[in-house]
Structure 1
Amino acid sequence: MYILQESLFSFEELLKMQSKERLPIFFGVLDLRPYAKELRSRSPRGADGHCREGILRALLAAPIEHIHTFTALHHRLETDLRFRYQCGLSLDREAPSVSTLSRVFAELTKKNLAQQLFEDLVKRCQEDGVIDGSHVAIDSAAIHAYEKKQPKRKSEQTGNANWGAKFDSFGNKITWFGYKLHLAVDTKSELPLALEITPAHVNDGEKAPGLIRKIASKANTRFFMLDAGYDQLKVYEAARNVRAQAIIPLNPRGEKEPPAGFTSNGTPCCSMGFAMTYWGADGDDLKFRCPHATGKVECPLGMAACSSSNYGMVVKIDIKDDLRRFSSPHRDTKRWKELYNERTSVERCNSRLKSYLTANDLHVWGIQKVTTHQYLNAIVLLISALAAACKQKQIAA
């Protein structure tokens, strides 16, 4: 059973609650004082006296309340006194203005505080057993920009939003102007472990090695699951360098003929041309046996033509000979397929960020602010999981 299935259900239940019930549970597991301290204005000019912790709470509440803009957030704080109180803002003065909310968001971006809070929450989730981290899925998602669309050549010079294209699960080509959210997710809890924002045209395989290294620095990951778009040698090498295995289907596009004596999935063939039977791994060596000896085929020459042993011919393959083609567990085995099926966890995480929160509803521009926006959405998932886990512990006690 996945570690956090109950908690993920609680997250979706949390969204169904009324705001007055949801926000106390949500904020109950947070201590934002260290981060709010970094947001305090040190200049008398522009010091408006608003509680920075309260504004930070409001910015975090916005995604879960499906509030897309600073204007809408100001209006909610101004008209909903309960919401303002639950965010920790004073009721005896006006709500923070749109410019104040925008200014605090900009400061949050400038000091990378959203990323710091995200990484601290990931660490806490690991310490509390909410996140496991041994199996990780990586994928990218399209994020539509708030900026005005520009020609591709001009947009590439800005380093911000650009034109991107990818194929959906039905093989249809989709194009968009904006960014890519590159996301690494713990497959058991379906919670984000790391993310990165790039212009939309950046190839998925370019960012995967960096995400793999980042995850390896904070978790003892054994397997990384990625789709065929990541079928590049450098991705397999990145996983190998952190003592993990990349589980990626071979991409048929541009695929060369397999080496002589092998099937397309890396299975050696016997002298009669039959695919041999995978018989487990010993370290980096994959072991294969005569298919006639294992009852997989009825060879007209039997075992004697290849080996004098009644065990049949045995072939061992070193994974390091071709990290892309050879895998442990071996491709097409039941275990390999089970691992690859875990990749859907990153799709579900992406869906929650977009459908339930505001990851694809940008009203800020520039890659740095877009990154902060995505971190705030990812933080909401982590906080919700911690709140659900705390609630379960209280019930159990």
Structure 2
Amino acid sequence: MVTYNEELKSDIPIYLRLVEAPRYDGVTAIVALSEARALYPDFVFDKFIGDCAHDNHPTYHLLNKWNIKPIIPLNKKNKGKSQYQGTVKINENGIPVCMAGLPMVYNGFMKDRNRIKWRCPFATGKVDSCNCKDKCSSSDYGRTIYTKPSFDPRLFTAIPRGSDEWKEEMRKRTSSERVNKRLLNDYELELSKTRGKKRWSFWIMIHSINIHLDARLKKSKFNFISSFLIFIAKSLLFFVFNF
């Protein structure tokens, strides 16, 4: 499990778990998340970003129970497995479609009522004209529709799929891939002749500590070359004045 530090533009591993290769990723991630929450009781796990291997109803239900916003792309194999049977038309991203056939505009997540607010695309200025304006709503505010994650947690996520916020958060998922790259390639763990789970766990921990140290150096803006030159200069002055 990895978190991304926006200030430092750094990928930070926060929990490591070594499992057998045949084990399904969707199972491993939930087990790891449960253990990480127990390990860091003071941490706030606000979002869970995973790939489509985690696109299943039990995972969404569990994340909602833990008040964690899921950022999970829909798995094409699960297409059509919707629990929502409402009268409002919904597109594949869980966004309500208005009478004119246009996706409605996301207007925020109402945490107190656990529901998502959607507004008319014409009233919000997303489109210049609408032939269904008079049929749909006479209000200048436009028609408003609410959806709830409880209707179908896969479709009605707190951060709607396709929204700018969802896309921005989804980009951070590559953080875990970059940490894997650092462990396996930069620290040459993949080339090592280490055998046994305990030895692998040891070296993965050591390399992860190094990744944390890199972030700390970045935070402190420490420059080894500058510090080395200052040390040389001070050493020369010491010898000159004591010669």
Distance 1:371 1:276, change over 3 A: farther
- Does the CA contact (< 8 Å) of 2:30 and 2:59 recur in 1? yes
One-letter amino acid matched to 1:235: T
Instruction: List alignment gaps of at least 5 residues for structure 2.
Output: 224-243
Listed as ranges, the matches of 1:229-244 within 5 Å are: 229-244=53-68
Letter in 2 for 1:277: V
Alpha-carbon contact 2:12-2:211 (below 8 Å) kept: no
After superposition, the Cα gap between the structure-2 partners of 1:237 and 1:292, relative to the gap in structure 1 and judged at 3 Å, is: same
Distance 1:375 1:265, change over 3 A: farther
Quote the Cα distance in structure 2 between the aligned partners of 1:295 and 1:311.
11
Would the aligned equivalents of 1:208 and 1:235 in 2 still touch at CA under 8 Å? no
Of 194, 218, 222 in structure 1, the residue corresponding to residue 15 of structure 2 is: 194
| Cα shift readout 1:173-211 (whole Å, capped 9, x = no counterpart) | xxxxxxxxxxx1112241211122222221111112111
Q: Which residue is 1:301 aligned to?
A: 132
Q: State the one-letter code of the partner of 2:200.
A: H
Normalising by structure 1, what TM-score? 0.48
Q: Which residue of 2 aligns with 1:85?
A: none
**1:327 & 1:317 partners in 2: Cα distance?**
9
**Aligned-residue offset at 1:334:** 0.7
The answer on whether the counterparts of 1:192 and 1:378 sit within 8 Å (CA) in structure 2 is: no
Over 3 Å counting, the alpha-carbon distance change for 1:325 and 1:301 in structure 2 is closer
Deviations 1:86-129 (A, max 9, x none): xxxxxxxxxxxxxxxxxxxxxxxxxxxxxxxxxxxxxxxxxxxx
Runs of at least 4 residues off by over 3 Å: 257-260, 361-365, 390-396
Aligned Cα RMSD in Å? 2.5
d(CA) in 1 for partners of 2:138, 2:61: 38
**1:46-65, aligned counterparts within 5 Å?**
none
CA drift at 1:314: 0.4
Aligned residue number for residue 241 of structure 2: none
Letter in 1 for 2:102: F
Give, in whole Å, the separation in 2 of the partners of 1:344 and 1:194: 16
Contact 1:266 1:326 (8 Å CA) reproduced? yes
Asked if 1:342 corresponds to 2:166, the answer is no
Aligned length: 209
Shift of 1:362: 5.7
In structure 1, C-alpha distance between the alignment counterparts of 2:160 and 2:115, rounded to whole Å: 11
1:395 CA drift (Å): 5.2
CA distance in 1, matches of 2:36, 2:4: 13
1:275 and 1:244 mapped to 2: Cα distance?
Answer: 26
Partner of 1:357: 187
Displacement of 1:394: 9.2
Partner of 1:317: 147
* Matches of 1:322 and 1:310, distance apart in 2: 30
Q: Go from structure 1 to structure 2 and tell me whether the alpha carbon gap of 1:392 and 1:324 turns closer, same or farther (over 3 Å shift).
A: closer
In the alignment, the residues of structure 1 paired with residue 135 and residue 30 of structure 2 have an alpha-carbon distance, to the nearest angstrom, of 45
Which of these residues, 213, 225, 238, is aligned with residue 386 of structure 1? 213
Distance 1:362 1:394, change over 3 A: closer
Deviations 1:65-99 (A, max 9, x none): xxxxxxxxxxxxxxxxxxxxxxxxxxxxxxxxxxx
Partner Cα distance (1:296, 1:193) in 2: 41
State the alpha-carbon separation in 2 of the partners of residues 336 and 239 from structure 1. 16
User: 2:99·2:132 contact (CA, 8 Å) conserved in 1?
Assistant: no
Structure 2 length-normalised TM: 0.76
* Distance of 1:251 and 1:201 partners within structure 2: 20
Q: Where do 1:1-397 residues align within 5 Å?
A: 184-188=1-5, 189-217=10-38, 218=40, 219-256=43-80, 261-283=89-111, 284-297=114-127, 298-302=129-133, 304-361=134-191, 363-365=193-195, 369-386=196-213, 389=216, 393=220
Tell me the secondary structure at the aligned position of residue 92 of structure 2.
coil
Would the alpha carbon gap of residues 394 and 327 (structure 1) be closer, same or farther in structure 2, given more than 3 Å must change?
closer
Change beyond 3 A, Cα 1:269–1:387: closer
Query: Relative to 1, partners in 2 of residues 1:352 and 1:261: Cα closer, same or farther, differing over 3 Å?
Result: same
Give the 3-state SS of the residue equivalent to 1:311 in structure 2.
coil
- Which letter does structure 2 place at the counterpart of 1:197? L
Q: What one-letter code is carried by the residue in structure 1 that aligns with 2:63?
A: A
SS at match of 2:135: coil
Return the alpha-carbon distance in structure 2 between the equivalents of residues 337 and 394 of structure 1: 31
Give the gaps of 5 or more residues in structure 1.
1-183
1-structure distance, mates of 2:53, 2:75: 7
User: Identity rate of aligned residues, in percent?
Assistant: 29
Deviation of residue 216 (structure 1)?
Answer: 2.2
